[in-house]
Amino acid sequence: MLVDSHCHLDYLKRDGRDLDEVVAAAMRSDIGTLVTICTKVSEFDTIREIAETHDRVWCSVGIHPHEAESEPPVDAARLIELAKHPKVVGIGETGLDYFYEHSPREAQKASFRAHIEASRETGLPLIVHTREADEDTVAILEDEMGKGAFPGVIHCFTSSRWLAERCVDMGMAISISGILTFKTAEDLRATVEGLPLDALLVETDAPFLAPVPKRGKQNEPAFVVHTAQRLAELKGVTPEELAQATTDNFFRLFSKTARPQEAV
């Protein structure tokens, strides 16, 4: 069994996809658990409803750095309150994006720290988006770790080896998307090859970033098998060993979830 640790089922629904079929296709590909990610607290009700409707789908609550200024102000207390729902298993996605800079950097940083506080207080993993912001991301994470530890994952990792190693040293996971399979991703593959297997997760970030051989199609959770296969080759393990390791890593980090055999 594999886990798609990060997808956006609400985006697929918005695009007219039948989520019952999307989830069923994932299950047929032995993707036993999905986490659909919140990017706007103002749309959290939709995210929560999707998770409530599908037994093997969980969700997060948070504000993407792109939305840090446009979303109504949300503090840690509000995130903590929303995270009490039994299907909410993570805080985010949050973080810093200096590539697009759709929100001012200071707004992104303030939102990031509010999410970290919520993660620390709830014990739910922080789901971090970082792009072209390695130094500030690490500085904030290390500063906040000094106030008290919290679990977390760098999602859709494409950053430097330096950032990956610093985050692993902090006890954070690194989640690998379909970008790993792209022809141009040689530097990423070289970095991931050197990371410990017990720190790795896999994800689709669907509907974005469909892996080879699905490039050009809308990404969906079932396609995470292709990323996992390429990651297994890179790490020198069998697909079964890779699936076992990344699934164990997921349930250790996202400890509020239940494995399929544990679900009631």
Q: 73: which DSSP letter?
A: P
Q: Is residue 44 within 8 Å of residue 61, measured between CB atoms? A: yes
- How is the beta sheet containing 173-176 ordered, strand by strand? 2-7, 31-36, 57-61, 88-97, 126-131, 152-154, 173-176, 200-202
**Annotated binding-site residue? 8:** yes
**Both tokens of residue 28?**
């047929």
Distance of CA 167 to the CA centre of its chain: 15
Length of the chain: 264
- Distance, in Å, from the CA atom of 33 to the CA atom of 177, rounded to the nearest integer, reads 16
**Annotated binding-site residue? 93:** yes
Number of neighbours of residue 236 by Cβ within 10 angstroms? 10
CA-based nearest residue to 175, from 66, 61, 88, 93: 93
**Annotated binding-site residue? 52:** no
**Binding-site residues for a divalent metal cation:** 6, 8, 93, 129, 155, 205
**Binding-site residues:** 6, 8, 93, 129, 155, 205
